[in-house]
Every structure is written in structure tokens, then in C-alpha cells.
Homo-oligomer: A and B are copies of this chain.
Amino acid sequence: MNLLFYLVPVAALIALLFAWIFFRQMMKESEGTPTMKEIAQYVREGAMAYLKQQYKVVIIVFAVLAVLFAVLAYGFGVQNPWVPFAFLTGGFFSGLAGFVGMKTATFASARTANATMRSLNSGLKIAFRSGAVMGLTVVGLGLLDIAIWWTVLKLVYDPSEAQNLVVITTTMLTFGMGASTQALFARVGGGIYTKAADVGADIVGKVEQDIPEDDPRNPATIADNVGDNVGDVAGMGADLYESYCGSILATMALGASAFFGDTDMQMRAILAPMMIAALGVVLSILGIYVVRTKEGASLKDLLGSLSRGTNLAAVLIAVLSFGVFYVLGFANWWMLSLSVLSGLLAGVIIGKVTEYYTSHSYKPTQKLAESSQTGPATVIINGVGLGMISTAVPVVTICAAILLAYGFATGFNFSVNTLSQGLYGISIAAVGMLSTLGITLATDAYGPIADNAGGNAQMSELDPSVREKTDILDSLGNTTAATGKGFAIGSAALTALALLASYIEEIKIGLGHIGKTVLEVGGRTVDTVSASIMDIVNYYDITLMNPMVLVGVFVGAMMAFLFCGLTMNAVGRAAEKMVIEVRRQFREIAGILEGKQRPDYTSCVRISTKAAQHEMIFPSLLAIIVPMLVGVILGPAGVIGLLAGGLGAGFVLAIFLANSGGAWDNAKKYVEEGHFGGKNSSSHHATVVGDTVGDPFKDTSGPSLNILIKLMSMVSIVMAGLTVMLH
């Protein structure tokens, strides 16, 4: 069975190999005209400059936290000695994944634009393969990190002891905290950067001066395009690296505890998520190769081709998961596979619902566009309403998936005795959803690449037909990305649930560290090491009647809102500065609007860089400090309340923000297509206000929430030792 493990590093290396192949293929293409090259170079430089600034801040935060963990580990002895190192590697690999993705994207955009001049199909191929570089890098680095730590820790802790398997897997979870921390900074910083530029550019460009998006006369255009790369590409890469590793690591930890005592079964349960992920890599590469169309393919062909790739990978992973559990010798192998299937189905449904609410092919967004006839206020009211209503089906779907995944894993026994197995079922469902990330992320990341290609085409003043084609590619990406986004959202909720259980596990280990080897629970005495999750729950009274838990729930729900408010205001403030600067340039630099004089792009780049670097610090630190404080003040019961409240409110809030933003974006496009007065009508201006408001909703605050939820869990897990010492 140990041989099976070698599939994992092999899959990791295969992923990285193919990422490298696709990267080389893309680099062979021409970047086009000298202007195209020049603009691509501007964007590349801006993006790299920003990333350097961001990493500087992140390195300081990581250094401080690593020292703190070292003190807790070596000074107070309440933490595993490997934690500081695991934490650092997680952050490093997450940053690397974002860096590679962004590097690739900035090289790919001009090449995509250039290839699109030849044909839509050539453009698609380059953009999509470049997206695949990011997808495969994320999964490759993730699996590699997991494989390395598993190998190292198995050498240190004898894996034939049940407790050691728990220690190994929970230690590995802390590299998840590193990944989450870096991801949060990347998402928040990148999100603020891109939306400050985008909102600023839109307000002066589209609303006040009536010039199109990405027009070279707009001083904020380069900043806007840089932003797409640092926010949508680098941010998304770090984000999904965190999700991917988090789901696998949480499942490994749950596997070690669910089958505690039977080291053989523990080992199988630990291997299962790694195996599914490794197979997912192979299927993703297969799927990527399926995405190829004949020259002169119609739009429908292209769409079909993209969907074929992701669907094939998803269907095959569902089928193969039966094989994985069978080969690993699980008695309930087909039931566990049905848990995985429940997760995959939930992801597909959430994706479809998202599409229904946010695509202008359907009623809700069309109605939203219609309300633009009565001005921006009704567009905003109806968009907020639409987003809030759109949370219903995804939440009910994820609830059904939770109960089904749990039910299948336990034979629909909902008693406390099978709790761990049930949670394992939930967690492995999340792994299934993310296992084909190699290809789903490719369909997601390829959107911003196509978008940037369009920006390059516009700024290089290529024939408008090029921009039209890249727009088609972009909107194609939005449709195919829906499934991937459904998987990402759904798996975040499931993983966060699993992390609640991991927290309890870590509390147990913490009790061991402070020498509390037996616990009094409800009149019985139990060994701490063999205490069940329910024993710990009873020991700390983690019920919903405990005021600590209820206070925690309030604080958790509040954290989701506070975090969003801070990031939203950061965008608002930075965008105002951008507007003022752009207005100044139009006013003071003669000839910009006539295209006779180049605007000063760098001052806008500077505003975004400074704002992002400055504004990302407070909300991100809050996400780290509040769970620590709650642990210190309210104890484990308060922490569980915090995590549950944050998860409940944050998950729903994230869907609301994402869907409101998406619907506003597409309502604007719908009007631009000629409805209700078309471009430059008062309806159009009203929808531009909606789109602008939606920018930070869907690209800054919303996507950061999923990371926030998991980071708060990770911080709690890592700080559990201290919490136990104090309570």
C-alpha cells in the first residue's frame, strides 16, 4: 500500500512537467507588433513591481508568525516543533503558485491577442493552455509539498503508532495555515489593486468621458490591466492552492482520527484523498488535451470543446473514486464513493445556479438590466436583492451534500458514534470537487488572460475585430468557469466543516502537551489520547446553549461583515484617489483625449500599488488576530462558535457578493448589446454604476471571504495549544 503513495509525487511531477511543456509552447508564439510587445512589457513590469511589494509585506508577517510559533513550540512546549517550518513552506509554495501563474499570464496576453488575429481557435488554444500552466502548477506544487512533508514526518514519527499518524497529519495541517495566510494577502492585496484601478478607470473613462474600456487614452488603463494579473490571476492561484491543499490535508487529518486505533485503516484513510488528487492530475491533463478544435471552429464548437474537457475529468474522477476506495480496501467503498459523488453533484448544481442568476441569457439578469430604465438606484436595489435571493439554492444544495456525504459514509447513521466517519465523508467529498482543479482552474484562469489580450489589442489599436474575438473568448470563459467556481465555493464550505473537527483533534493533542492525560467527562474518566470528538465537545461544553459558543457565533458572523467592509472601503478610498488623478491628467495634460499625448500611466500604477500594499494589512491581520484573541478569552467553546458563525454568515455573504457583482457586470453587457437604449444611453450609465459597485463585491471582498473562513480555522488549529494551556 505504501507503493501506492508514490503515485502522489509522480503525479505532482507530471503536473509540473506538463505545466512546463505548455509554458514553453506558449513562449514560442510571437508577441506581435512592437506596440503590443511594449504594452505587454509595461503590464509585466507593473505586475512584478507590485508582487515584489506584496511579498515584502508578507515576508515580514510570516517572519513574525514563525517566531511566535517557534516560541510556542520550543518555549512553552504547547506546540509541535515542526509547525514553524511547515507554516513557512505552505506560504512559500502558495506564493510560488501565484507567481508562476502571473508570470505566465503576463507573457500570454499579447501572444493570445496576436494569435487571435489568425483565428479564434488559435487564441483559445494559447489562452487556455496558459491557464492550464497555472492550474497544473497549483496542483503540482500542492501535491509536491504534501508528498514531501508526509515522507519527512513519517521518518520522524513512527507511523505504526496510531497517535503518531494523528500527530503527522495535524502537523501537516499547519502548512495549510501558511498557504491560507499568503492566499489572503494575495486575494486582498490583489483585489484592492485591481478594483481601485478598474473602478477609477470606469468612473472617469466610461461615465464621464464616454471612452471605451482599455482605451489607451485612459491613464488608468495599464494599472487596470496589471490589476487583472495580480488580482484575478495571482490572487486566484494562491487562493485555489490554499483550497486544494486545505481539503486534502483536512481529510488526511480526519482519516487519522476517524479510524483511530486501527493503524492500517488510518493509513488507508490518509492515502485516499492523496490518491484521488493524484488521479485528478492525470485526468486534468487528459481533459486539457481534449480541449482542441479544428481550425475555423464555430463558437458553439469552442464552448462544447471546453465543457467536454472539464466534464470528462469530472465524470472520470467520480468513476475512478470507486476504484480508489475499492483498491484501498474500504469495506464501505461504494458508499464512500457516493459521498464523493454528492460533492461533485453539488458543485455542478451550484455552478449552474450561479450561471442562472448572473448570466444575461436568463431572466434575473435581464430583469436587472431592465430596471436600469429607472436609474442607478433601482439597479443597485435590485442587484442587491438578486444576490441575496441567489444564496438560497446553493445553501440548500450544500446542506443536502453535507447530509448525503455524511450519510453515505456512515450508512445513514446520524448518531454521535459515527461522527468522525461522517465528517470524513464530508471532507473527502471536498477533495473530489477539487481533484480536477488542474483543468477547472485552467478554464477559470484563461478568462483573465483573454481579457488582458483584449486590453492589449485595444491599447495597441489593433483592428476592432481582434477585440471582439477576445471578448468572445472572455465571455466563453465566464460560462465554462461556472462549474469550477461551483466546485471552489462548495468545497470551501465542506473543508471548513472538516476543519472544525480537526480543531477538536488539535485540542486533544494540546491537552497532551500540557500533561492532561485523562479527562473527566460526564462522570466518566477517559484517556485524552483515545477521547472521541464528542468527549472533547462535552468536556468543553461546546453546545449551542453555552454563552461562550453563542458569543463566538456573533463574533464570527461579525468578522465576515467587518472584513468585507474594510476591503470594500479600501477599494472605495483607492478608487477615489484614482479618479482624482485621472481627472487631473485629463485636465492638465493637453492632448490626451485627442490621442496626441500619452497619459502618465505610471502615476496610476503607483496609486494602486500603494493603496493595495497599505490597505491589505489591517484586514488580513485581523483575520489572524481575532481567532487568537477569541481562543485566549473565550476558550475552545468560543472558538468553535466563532468558526461556525464565520462559516455560516461568511459562506452566504460570499455567494451574495459574488452573484450581485456578476449580475451587475452582465446586466451592463446586456445593455451594451443594444437593449433598453444600448451603449451611452441613460440605461447604460445606470448599469455602469451597478457594474462599478459590483467590482469590489465580486473581485475583492467576496472571494476573500472563502479564504478568511478557512484561515480563521487554520489559525485556531495552530493556536489550539495555547488556548488549551489557558483554559
A376: chain B residues at CB < 8 Å are 376, 689
Cα A500 to Cα B403 in complex, Å, equals 24
Query: Does A19 interact with chain B (Cβ within 8 Å)?
Result: no
Cα A199 to Cα B648 in complex, Å, equals 32
Contact indicator A569/B382 (Cβ below 8 Å): yes
Cα A537 to Cα B569 in complex, Å, equals 42
> Distance in Å from the Cβ of A410 to the closest Cβ of chain B?
10
A51: chain B residues at CB < 8 Å are none
Contact indicator B648/A388 (Cβ below 8 Å): no
Output the nearest chain B residue to A383 by Cβ-Cβ distance. B572
Query: Does A361 interact with chain B (Cβ within 8 Å)?
Result: no
**What string of 1s and 0s marks CB contacts (under 8 Å) between A518-550 and chain B?**
000011000000000110011001111111111
**What string of 1s and 0s marks CB contacts (under 8 Å) between A367-381 and chain B?**
000010111111011
Query: Does A601 interact with chain B (Cβ within 8 Å)?
Result: no
Contact indicator A545/B419 (Cβ below 8 Å): yes
**Interface-located stretch among A20-28, A117-125, A280-288, A394-402:** A394-402
Cα A58 to Cα B603 in complex, Å, equals 61
> With A385-B566, A649-B652 known to touch, is A692 a contact of B377 (CB < 8 Å)?
yes
> Distance in Å from the Cβ of A569 to the closest Cβ of chain B?
3
Query: Does A489 interact with chain B (Cβ within 8 Å)?
Result: no
> Distance in Å from the Cβ of A143 to the closest Cβ of chain B?
29
Contact of A203 among B207, B378, B396 (CB under 8 A): B378
Contact indicator B547/A403 (Cβ below 8 Å): yes
Contact indicator B561/A385 (Cβ below 8 Å): no
Query: Does A644 interact with chain B (Cβ within 8 Å)?
Result: yes
Cα A652 to Cα B648 in complex, Å, equals 12
Query: Does A714 interact with chain B (Cβ within 8 Å)?
Result: no
Contact indicator B395/A555 (Cβ below 8 Å): yes
- Give the contact-size bracket for chain A: 35 or more
Query: Does A509 interact with chain B (Cβ within 8 Å)?
Result: no
Q: CB within 8 Å of B: which of A590-614?
A: none
Contact indicator A392/B543 (Cβ below 8 Å): no
A40: chain B residues at CB < 8 Å are none
Contact indicator B374/A203 (Cβ below 8 Å): yes
A381: chain B residues at CB < 8 Å are 199, 568-569, 571-572, 575, 692-693, 696
Contact indicator B378/A572 (Cβ below 8 Å): yes
> Distance in Å from the Cβ of A534 to the closest Cβ of chain B?
7
Cα A243 to Cα B348 in complex, Å, equals 43
Output the nearest chain B residue to A575 by Cβ-Cβ distance. B378
Contact indicator A641/B572 (Cβ below 8 Å): no
Query: Does A391 interact with chain B (Cβ within 8 Å)?
Result: yes
Output the nearest chain B residue to A548 by Cβ-Cβ distance. B414
Query: Does A140 interact with chain B (Cβ within 8 Å)?
Result: no
Query: Does A504 interact with chain B (Cβ within 8 Å)?
Result: yes
A567: chain B residues at CB < 8 Å are 385
Contact indicator B500/A545 (Cβ below 8 Å): yes
Contact indicator A565/B396 (Cβ below 8 Å): no
**What string of 1s and 0s marks CB contacts (under 8 Å) between A384-425 and chain B?**
111111111001101100110010000000111001001100
Output the nearest chain B residue to A401 by Cβ-Cβ distance. B551
Cα A5 to Cα B683 in complex, Å, equals 64
Query: Does A717 interact with chain B (Cβ within 8 Å)?
Result: no
**What string of 1s and 0s marks CB contacts (under 8 Å) between A151-170 and chain B?**
00000000000000000000
Most central of A414, A543, A647 by chain B CB within 10 Å: A543
Most central of A387, A402, A568 by chain B CB within 10 Å: A568
Query: Does A557 interact with chain B (Cβ within 8 Å)?
Result: yes
Cα A355 to Cα B647 in complex, Å, equals 30
Contact indicator A387/B543 (Cβ below 8 Å): no
Contact indicator A652/B561 (Cβ below 8 Å): yes
Contact indicator B380/A580 (Cβ below 8 Å): no
Contact of A558 among B385, B395, B569 (CB under 8 A): B395
A207: chain B residues at CB < 8 Å are 375, 377
A497: chain B residues at CB < 8 Å are 547, 550
Query: Does A579 interact with chain B (Cβ within 8 Å)?
Result: yes
Contact of A422 among B399, B547, B561 (CB under 8 A): B547
**What string of 1s and 0s marks CB contacts (under 8 Å) between A559-594 and chain B?**
011101111110111011001100000000000000
> Distance in Å from the Cβ of A184 to the closest Cβ of chain B?
17
> Distance in Å from the Cβ of A400 to the closest Cβ of chain B?
9
Query: Does A442 interact with chain B (Cβ within 8 Å)?
Result: no
Contact indicator B689/A561 (Cβ below 8 Å): no
Contact indicator A385/B569 (Cβ below 8 Å): yes
Query: Does A656 interact with chain B (Cβ within 8 Å)?
Result: yes
A538: chain B residues at CB < 8 Å are 522, 538, 543
Contact indicator B543/A537 (Cβ below 8 Å): yes
Query: Does A645 interact with chain B (Cβ within 8 Å)?
Result: yes
A579: chain B residues at CB < 8 Å are 374-375, 378
Contact of A565 among B386, B541, B557, B640 (CB under 8 A): B386
Cα A63 to Cα B57 in complex, Å, equals 63
> With A522-B522, A561-B391, A649-B652 known to touch, is A545 a contact of B541 (CB < 8 Å)?
no
Cα A688 to Cα B377 in complex, Å, equals 9
Contact of A553 among B371, B388, B644 (CB under 8 A): B644
Cα A553 to Cα B564 in complex, Å, equals 20
Query: Does A501 interact with chain B (Cβ within 8 Å)?
Result: yes
Contact indicator B648/A551 (Cβ below 8 Å): no
Query: Does A426 interact with chain B (Cβ within 8 Å)?
Result: yes
A549: chain B residues at CB < 8 Å are 544
Contact indicator B652/A558 (Cβ below 8 Å): yes
Q: CB within 8 Å of B: which of A345-378?
A: 371, 373-378
Contact indicator B388/A541 (Cβ below 8 Å): no
14 of the cross-chain contacts (CB-CB < 8 Å) are: A202-B377, A371-B576, A378-B576, A381-B572, A389-B566, A390-B565, A395-B557, A402-B554, A497-B547, A538-B543, A544-B544, A557-B648, A557-B652, A649-B649
What are the 4 closest A-B residue pairs judged by CB atoms, nearest first? A388-B565, A385-B569, A385-B568, A377-B692
Q: What is A's interface to B at a CB cutoff of 8 Å?
A: 199, 202-203, 207-208, 371, 373-378, 380-382, 384-392, 395-396, 398-399, 402-403, 406, 414-416, 419, 422-423, 426, 493, 497, 500-501, 504, 522-523, 533-534, 537-538, 541-551, 553-558, 560-562, 564-569, 571-573, 575-576, 579-580, 640-641, 644-645, 647-649, 651-653, 656, 688-689, 692-693, 696
13 new A-B contacts, CB < 8 A, other than A522-B538, A544-B640, are: A202-B377, A374-B575, A377-B688, A377-B692, A378-B579, A381-B575, A385-B569, A414-B548, A534-B543, A534-B545, A556-B648, A645-B645, A648-B648
